[in-house]
Structure 1
Amino acid sequence: MEHISIKEIGQIIKQNRFWLGIIGLLDLLSILLLWLIDAQAFYVIAISVILFSLLVFVTAVLYLAKKERKRKKAFDEFLAVPDSYHEEQLFHDAENLQAEIRSFSQILHEQMDQCAQTKLQLNDYEEYVEAWAHEVKTPLALLTFMLDNHRDELSEDVVCKLDRINCQMQRYIDQMLYYARLKGARKDYRFESVDTENCVKEVLEDFTPLLEEQKIQVQLDIKENTLFTDKRGFAFMLGQFISNSIKYSKGKDKQLRISCIREHEKIILSVRDNGMGIKACDLPYVFEKGFTGDSGDRRKKATGMGLYLAKEMAHDLNVELDVSSDEAAGGCEIKVYFPVVEE
């Protein structure tokens, strides 16, 4: 027989305290009557009655505890696999709760059906968003191709505007695509050794029109050139940081510095600019969904999704984010802390 804990015995006594109290009172009454009938044999008979009652009490408690444990086990098995077999087992082990069990089982199956339907709808939504994103990128690629072939026929101002719009549309499409992926049930990350400098340059190339239009000087200082991560996820995060720096750039001497170093068993990638900066009161909320902060006219164009999605991606990639800013001096720095993985 399995060991029954003191806690289980206490619960059984608490649940059946009324009947145990009745038995105790009956024993006292029996002992009193025996004393009235035969005072000389009272002590012997009283001890016998008490011992017998204790034996019955212990046997009853052990039986009820074993039955309760069996019922709990059947209930746990039903919750793990709520099929008809485990439901019948639960009925058998909890005969006095059959009506409640049937009601609970019906509600549970309804909830499971709703969850399955919701999961199916979520998968359909994810597939639709991915298909839409890939489809809409085709005409964008065609527009980019036509723009590249007819640059000489357009004024420099028009070319800059078209490049900026094209870059923004690509970024918004990527945000929507990654939002669907991050919230979806299926995620296809591929962790591998990534060449840091090459990946950074590839991301910067996508922002070339905006960087040139804003006349932002880019500085690279990549001392740690290998990251073990998902390349697409890392590129997406980095793109959000660069986009944020461009959006909130100001002044004439605009700078964007990207560095990567190894420090205290961590690889730290830093994206630093000398733009508007972030108010101290806004810093704790910059990674929250929809937060745009107090950024003047730029707030009207901000969605508050870029850094939120970057934070969600960082969670999936098991990296840490940290943001700091000096509003008085200007500028913002976002650091990504990667774990060191020895191959």
Structure 2
Amino acid sequence: MIKTFLIERKSWIGMFLCGQILLLLIAYLDLSIPFSPVLYIVFLSLMLFAIFLIIRFNKETAYMKRLKDWENNLDVSGIVGAASPFEHIIDTALTDQTERLRQTASRQQIALEQEKDELLSWIHEVKTPLTAMHLMIGRLENDAMKATLTYEWLRIHHLLDQQLHQQRLPSIENDLYIENVNVEDLLYMEIKSLQSWCIQKGIGFDVQLDATTVLSDAKWLAFILRQILTNAVKYSDNLSPDIIVKSFLEHERMVIEVTDFGRGIDAKDLPRIFDKGFTSTTWHQDSAATGMGLYLARKAAEPLHIQMAVQAEVGVGTTFTLTFPQKNELVRLTGM
């Protein structure tokens, strides 16, 4: 701040020093003016000017320090208190501007909440005809047509489900209910919802559960498993072996592994698969991919303190791993 102050006042300091040098030069050239007294006067002037600079530094930089330390969070109460007319102008401008920004932010927040509520309402409205459509598809006698329509219905259902959970994610902390969850029931429920798709693609599941209970949120854990299982089915085919789902305890932490033997993931894509909107650089022509499933799954896993990891190789398959926190650790982290 001292350097900044001196740079800001360099014109004043330069003007003062030039005046003192000029005074000494006149006394040196004009023999009728005694040089020693003038030198003494210049010395005293420099001392007084130095004291003046110190006083002005403390006075002028106090306001600038408050501005520098301001968090810029639309709260100007910590910086107001002008000591000069110029500072008062800045105070007035900042107060007016922040008030306008606060009002604009408030209006935008209200509009965003209304839009979110309307979207959630629309999603729930769409679920009604979607349920009716599923019942009608179930009555079809043409098995080929039935399988095709069921697959398309399932895609729409999962896209709506993703959108619904995406809207709920910003307030997920308010939606969590930590309890002992039976992972076996969740897994079989999600696998059952994919049954028609699996039959169409000729894919099965090999479930090996050595641990079946974990402390978590059932609804959000089901959503995370849904995204992983859907990906496993989507990128497998009838030439692939069964999708393997394992659960076991490792260092007192429950681990769930989902392994498919489909097309896999290119090594250069692995660091980006959880990024929002990322699909693939190898299979970029896949227009059905939205790049949102794994992103939302990772976002949902964070407040539950579930670690997500992936290992994959092109043409070999992919393994997703969910590592849950220890029971005491989750209670400490969530305060529940």
TM range (shorter): 0.7 to 0.9
Q: Percent identity?
A: 22
Q: How does 1:1-343 map to 2 (within 5 A)?
A: 8-30=1-23, 37-38=33-34, 42=36, 46-47=39-40, 49-51=42-44, 53-73=46-66, 79-80=72-73, 82=75, 89-90=80-81, 92-96=82-86, 102=92, 105-145=95-135, 150=139, 154-182=141-169, 184=170, 188-193=174-179, 194-252=181-239, 254-263=241-250, 267-288=254-275, 289-295=277-283, 299-328=286-315, 330-342=316-328
- C-alpha separation between the residues in 2 aligned to 1:93 and 1:292? 59
**Any stretches of 5+ residues in structure 2 without a counterpart?**
332-336
Q: 1:11 to 1:302 in 2, by over 3 A?
A: closer
Work out whether residues 258 and 270 of structure 1, in 8 Å CA contact, stay in contact via their aligned partners in 2: yes
| Cα root mean square deviation, aligned | 3.6
- C-alpha separation between the residues in 1 aligned to 2:250 and 2:327? 13
**Any stretches of 5+ residues in structure 1 without a counterpart?**
1-7
- C-alpha separation between the residues in 1 aligned to 2:21 and 2:269? 73
- C-alpha separation between the residues in 1 aligned to 2:234 and 2:70? 55
Q: Which amino acid aligns with 1:96?
A: F
- C-alpha separation between the residues in 1 aligned to 2:103 and 2:12? 43
Q: Which amino acid aligns with 1:67?
A: E
Deviation at 1:117, TM superposition (A): 2.5
Q: Normalising by the residue count of structure 1, what TM-score does the alignment of the two structures yield?
A: 0.77
- C-alpha separation between the residues in 2 aligned to 1:23 and 1:268? 75
Q: Give aligned pairs, total.
A: 324
Q: Normalising by the residue count of structure 2, what TM-score does the alignment of the two structures yield?
A: 0.78
Deviation at 1:76, TM superposition (A): 6.0
- C-alpha separation between the residues in 1 aligned to 2:190 and 2:12? 76
Per-residue CA shift, 1:178-199, capped at 9, x if unaligned?
Answer: 22223x5675331514333232
- C-alpha separation between the residues in 2 aligned to 1:205 and 1:162? 17
**2:205 partner SS:** strand
